A and B are shown apart, each in its own frame.
Chain A
């Protein structure tokens, strides 16, 4: 018997049929004797719709609220009709949903009248997606004769600071409250269904957890309830060696260390946000990434220790598109003490995120990778700051490039990995424009022209036999 937190994402609960599927998974695991805590996201797309509606309503007409609220109600009612059989439970659930949506309507009206959407009120609005989905998932379990009870993050006892939009949990306070709320249920084999993503501050005002979202709720509960494992149910078989759209032979990775998983997320792989990993790292709790639509596949295990010790040096390869490379040349700026810091500072002030840096001190040259949609702002800013006054600086850019990142914990200290990577790429006659290694030494990333991106990824995939 294990104690497990299971988190189900938006696609897993996108309609009645999928919710029944989720209930089946929970039932099977519960039959095996596991103690289960369920965390759910909002129905697919509902969170985005809520945000969009709130933004529109703040400067819009009151009538639009009714329209939006009716549509939202219809959507959830049709899911209930599909997921739940018992007429009695159906009726109860519809009533609950109706009451919750009435509350939402009042809040939207408030926003409309005041004409202002603060981070605080936005968190309120957004929380309704999960409130509704948790009610329906819990009712579906009850309908299938599995005892269950639904909770908002606040009701479950998760307490955060008041940083609305991206709140941080107060772990000790949370531990005390969650144990009081949920332990008695688990002992009685009642399954709590908790809203992901949302919590409350010490005054009971709704907050949201921001980056990491519902996964973060799952790992916080895992930490607090000392679970054996956290299972993240998604719509893919686990974390892949590369994007299957680029590499047909890409396969699921069996095991990753926490560090590797965090690295993958930074490079945009469909993985967990590093923030959400923090609580499980502290208590060494393993996390599984599983597929709701293929529950028998073993997925990817994220953990530390012997299970993930493997011989592979490169475990995964990511291709990051939509980036641009800026080259800064010149004796005036580059090489002088503090000059890099100045460049980063200038760009930072304009909200331009630097994804990668590399420099060649001898050539007084620095290259920077940023998101492509920020290139105009970045170039204009750098030109204003660095050119003229006989500085001799030059700034130029290329926006037909992409970044390739090869990741794996065993790269650390393993000589020759870089040389194998670059040889594999060179053998395809691809010119490498820029190279950088993250300080963690868990990845080697480099830049090539975008048109050679998938060719380069394939070359490395082959070289390290990731398809085997």
Chain B
């Protein structure tokens, strides 16, 4: 299967590592033979229709900062969209940085892939948060598949759980801790009684929070995930601007103490029950949803199965790359079935 990878950061590189390490063992039994024909980053692209030498590209990236520096296959300054358009492949994997202002370059990358008949897997939430209904419509129109397991819960199969394991059931409600960074900060504050500022600094030191943590702190990251769950699982058509969002910046130690006294914890909760919202909320400590540290947890309340909670690590390069792999195999089987019809 020929793959174009746009964005070669933590997630992209983890995916390539999986391809490299598992090539001959695990992947073979699935009949899955990935061939990465193009990789793009901010510096340009590396393209080889016969399949890139992944070990070599990785070295080039580490040494020179961009895959485009490859002597033989590098294309400095190349625009991702024209690479996507002109390179034959079955699948494009979109893993550039999330941008919630205009979702670029991810949004254009995905549209171009659709337009040239490629199936898309994205871990980038931006395009989905801003244009979910448009993108699913365009995918159908172009008869291609769009998958995004890695956008919610990192490697934890939250979307698949709701979509596949609960298929046939009617899901009425969702509540979840959808952002690991803020959950870590809130846990630290409540348990070690440190200020927000201190907790954030610690999170940054440990690599749980980015140098610019605003997307997490302000609840935007969680809100993006609410959009994806709402559209995909609840069949509601809405985008980021329709989500009511409150972050955790103004939470005081006093509020946290009060909650603790009541046997509760304050968590940043994304929910769909009527209007989609993201806001700090008190949760009982014995509720399975009340996880600590960087963990994520989502509870679905459905008509027949009742209350189900799925818990797992919500981010991480290798975890998210694992989610991409699941999507790849899902698309592979879908295509095989289509072809053999």
A415–B246 Cα distance when bound, in Å, is 87
Query: Is there contact, CB below 8 Å, between A342 and B336?
Result: no
**Within the complex, which residue of A346, A349, A383 is in contact with B31, where a contact is CB–CB below 8 Å?**
A383
Query: Is there contact, CB below 8 Å, between A376 and B336?
Result: no
Per-position 1/0 for A367-407, Cβ under 8 A of B: 00000000011001101111111110100000000000000
Query: Is there contact, CB below 8 Å, between B31 and A387?
Result: yes
Given contacts A342-B340, A349-B339, contact A387 B33 (CB under 8 A): yes
Per-position 1/0 for B307-341, Cβ under 8 A of A: 00000000000000000000000001101100110
**Please, could you name 20 A-B residue pairs with CB atoms under 8 Å apart, sorted by A?**
A346-B339, A376-B50, A376-B88, A380-B1, A380-B2, A380-B90, A383-B31, A383-B33, A384-B90, A384-B332, A384-B335, A385-B340, A387-B32, A388-B29, A388-B32, A388-B332, A388-B333, A388-B336, A389-B31, A391-B31
Given contacts A388-B29, A388-B30, A388-B332, contact A380 B339 (CB under 8 A): no
What are the residues of chain A within 8 A of B31 when measuring CB–CB? 383, 386-389, 391, 393
A391–B340 Cα distance when bound, in Å, is 13
Number of residues in A with C-beta < 8 Å to the partner? 17
Query: Is there contact, CB below 8 Å, between B50 and A385?
Result: no
What are the residues of chain B within 8 A of A380 when measuring CB–CB? 1-2, 35, 90
CB distance from A392 to the nearest CB of B (A): 10
Across the A-B interface, the 9 shortest Cβ-Cβ residue pairs: A388-B31, A387-B31, A385-B339, A380-B2, A346-B339, A388-B30, A384-B335, A383-B33, A385-B336
Query: Is there contact, CB below 8 Å, between A383 and B1?
Result: yes
Q: Which of B18-52 contact A (CB under 8 A)?
A: 29-33, 35, 37, 49-50
Interface of B, secondary structure class, is: mixed
What are the residues of chain B within 8 A of A381 when measuring CB–CB? 339
What are the residues of chain B within 8 A of A376 when measuring CB–CB? 2, 35, 37, 49-50, 88
Query: Is there contact, CB below 8 Å, between A384 and B50?
Result: no
A386–B31 Cα distance when bound, in Å, is 8
Interface residues of B toward A: which range?
Answer: 10 to 19
Among B33, B50, B333, B335, residue most surrounded by chain A Cβ atoms (within 10 Å): B33
Residue of B nearest to A381 (CB): B339
Residue of B nearest to A380 (CB): B2
What are the residues of chain A within 8 A of B30 when measuring CB–CB? 388
A237–B33 Cα distance when bound, in Å, is 50
A384–B333 Cα distance when bound, in Å, is 8
A389–B29 Cα distance when bound, in Å, is 8
A391–B336 Cα distance when bound, in Å, is 12
Instruction: List 12 other contacts, CB 8 Å, given A376-B37, A385-B336.
Output: A349-B339, A377-B88, A381-B339, A383-B1, A384-B90, A384-B335, A384-B339, A385-B335, A388-B332, A389-B333, A390-B29, A391-B31
Query: Is there contact, CB below 8 Å, between A384 and B88?
Result: no
What are the residues of chain A within 8 A of B90 when measuring CB–CB? 380, 384
Residue of B nearest to A377 (CB): B88
CB distance from B162 to the nearest CB of A (A): 26
Query: Is there contact, CB below 8 Å, between B1 and A384?
Result: yes
A385–B336 Cα distance when bound, in Å, is 4
What are the residues of chain A within 8 A of B50 when measuring CB–CB? 376
Residue of B nearest to A350 (CB): B339
CB distance from B172 to the nearest CB of A (A): 36
A268–B96 Cα distance when bound, in Å, is 47
Given contacts A376-B2, A376-B50, A376-B88, contact A384 B336 (CB under 8 A): yes
What are the residues of chain A within 8 A of B32 when measuring CB–CB? 387-388
A312–B32 Cα distance when bound, in Å, is 51
CB distance from A59 to the nearest CB of B (A): 14
What are the residues of chain B within 8 A of A393 when measuring CB–CB? 31
What are the residues of chain B within 8 A of A349 when measuring CB–CB? 339
A380–B32 Cα distance when bound, in Å, is 10
What are the residues of chain B within 8 A of A385 when measuring CB–CB? 335-336, 339-340
CB distance from B35 to the nearest CB of A (A): 7
What are the residues of chain A within 8 A of B1 when measuring CB–CB? 380, 383-384
